[in-house]
Amino acid sequence: MASANSYASPSTTGGNREDLRDVLTILEPEQTPVVSAMRKGPGPRGTFTEVLADELAAPSTDGQPEGKDIGTFSNKAVKRQRFGNYIQIASRDFGVSDVQMLVDTAAVSNEYDYAKMKTLREMKRDIEATICSRNDRQSGNGTDAWKTRGLFKWTASGRDAATGDTLGGARTAAADIPSEYRTPEAQDINAQGSLTEERLNGVLQSLYQTHSAKKTYMGVFGPEVVEKIDNFTRLESASGYSRYTINDQAVKKTINLEVKIFNSSFGRVNVMPSVFLDHNGTTFNTEVGLLLDLDLLELQYMEPLTVHNLDDEGGGPRGYAKTIYSLCCKNPKGLAAIDNGV
Q: What confidence tens digit (pLDDT) does each residue in 173-223 have? A: 999 999 999 999 999 998 888 899 999 999 999 999 999 899 999 999 999
According to the model, what pLDDT value does residue 251 have?
Answer: 63
**Cβ(188)–Cβ(156) under 8 Å?**
yes
User: How large a percentage of the chain has pLDDT more than 70?
Assistant: 84
How do the domains of the chain map onto residue ranges? 33-53+80-339
The mean per-residue pLDDT over the stretch 31-37 comes to: 93
**H/E segment holding residue 53:** strand 48-53
- 10 band by pLDDT with thresholds 50, 70 and 90: low
Compute the distance between CA of residue 312 and CA of residue 32 in angstroms, rounded to an integer: 33
According to the model, what pLDDT value does residue 76 have?
Answer: 92
Instruction: State pLDDT tens for residues 41-92.
Output: 999 999 999 999 999 999 999 888 999 998 899 999 999 999 999 999 999 9
- 117 band by pLDDT with thresholds 50, 70 and 90: very high
Q: How far is CA 289 from CA 9, 61, 72, 103, in A?
A: 51, 39, 47, 47
Compute the distance between CA of residue 72 and CA of residue 229 in angstroms, rounded to an integer: 53
**Cβ(307)–Cβ(68) under 8 Å?**
no
Instruction: State pLDDT tens for residues 249-272.
Output: 556 667 677 889 999 999 999 999
Q: Which residue has the higher pLDDT, 190 or 320?
A: 320
Compute the distance between CA of residue 305 and CA of residue 285 in angstroms, rounded to an integer: 26
According to the model, what pLDDT value does residue 26 have?
Answer: 63
Compute the distance between CA of residue 107 and CA of residue 256 in angstroms, rounded to an integer: 38
Task: Give the CATH fold of the 33-53+80-339 domain.
Answer: phage-related protein like fold (3.90.1690)
Residue type present at position 305:
L
Instruction: State pLDDT tens for residues 45-58.
Output: 999 999 999 999 99
For the cut 90, the answer to whether the pLDDT of residue 6 exceeds it is no
Instruction: State pLDDT tens for residues 228-255.
Output: 999 887 766 555 655 555 555 556 667 6
Lowest-confidence region among 98-112, 162-176, 277-291: 162-176
Residue type present at position 24:
L
For the cut 70, the answer to whether the pLDDT of residue 110 exceeds it is yes
* pTM assigned to the model: 0.88
According to the model, what pLDDT value does residue 205 have?
Answer: 98
As a dihedral over the C-alpha atoms of residue 66, residue 71, residue 73, residue 74, rounded to 10 degrees, the angle is -70
